[in-house]
A and B are shown apart, each in its own frame.
Chain A
Amino acid sequence: MTDNSLSEALLAEHRQVLFRYALLQMRDPELADDAVQETLLSAWQGSAGFAGKASLRTWLIGILKHKIADHWRRSAHDPVLTDSHRLDAAEDAEADEDAFFMSNGHWHSGPSAWNDPEAAFRQQEFWTVYETCQNNLPPKMAKVFMLRELVGLEADEVCREAGLTETNYWVVMHRARLRLRECLEIRWFNSQKQEK
């Protein structure tokens, strides 16, 4: 044990989430790893600054964001994903969902059955299709989806990150799932059927 209120072990628990968060923004494992190291180090050194108001992870992500921003400032690179992608509201949410449903609330063309979908995990081509479909989401929607599903933040953490109300969050995630699902069906599962 140290005199610090935050032990290294406690900080290390958040390493994976921080790393994925950094990686999504920096797209380079070494840079991401550096940023996380620096974050954990400053957190450990400055753990007195952790007021315990926010959750520990929220506090750590706050530090990480500064480290990432420092990096962009030094390298004068364009950040890949920034907070300029903040979501204002779910303005066109209704129109977006209208593409999937008829006015009586039934599916336009409902999801069809996928045969043994998890077998696709073993195929490299599937992951290429998956990535394409994920990148086809509008940027703000993609960010929310990735923070939740890839980075592994909790829903309320994503809301804080993206500046979303809870209601907008549900709408955005649902739209992302509808779009991603349709894309995977068209580009992978239907074309697999035809080949057989």
Chain B
Amino acid sequence: MRSCREISALVSRGLDKPLDWRERLEIRLHTAMCPSCRNFQRQTQFMRKAARRFGADLETRFGKKS
């Protein structure tokens, strides 16, 4: 079994690169039993959305400052 440290790194990598079926299975089995890693997984997806919105609003953000 992989540790939370390894699983969370794998989750993070999965946001930028397709994982193989084995890695996806490991994440699934782990997060089914581990609420912390499940939260981490959801929250990384949330952060990606937040960052994209922030990026989309950059113009208004920097526009307001000057």
Contact = CB atoms under 8 A, between A and B. Distances in A.
Contacts of B16: 148, 155, 169-170, 173
B49 to A, nearest CB: 7
Given A148-B16, A150-B55, A111 B49 contact: no
Interface in B24-66: 35-37, 39-40, 42-44, 46-55, 57-59, 61-63, 65-66
A114 interface: yes
Contacts of A27: 62, 65
A155 B17 CA distance: 8
B4 A173 contact: no
Most buried by B among A23, A107, A151: A107
B46 A105 contact: no
B52 A118 contact: no
A178 B8 contact: yes
Interface residues of A, number: 45
Contacts of A111: 36-37, 39-40, 43
A187 interface: no
B3 A104 contact: yes
Contact of B4 (A24, A101, A152, A181): A101
Contacts, number: 107
Choose among B12, B43, B46 the residue with the greatest number of A CB atoms under 10 Å from its CB: B43
A130 B4 contact: no
Range, interface on chain B: 35 or more
B53 to A, nearest CB: 6
A113 B39 contact: yes
Nearest to A106: B4
A110 interface: yes
Contacts of A117: 43, 46
Interface in A131-173: 131, 134, 145-146, 148-152, 155, 169-170, 173
Contacts of A19: 59
Interface string B1-26: 01111101100110111000000000
B43 A152 contact: no
Closest A-B pairs by Cβ, 7 of them: A105-B3, A110-B36, A150-B55, A149-B51, A111-B39, A174-B12, A105-B5
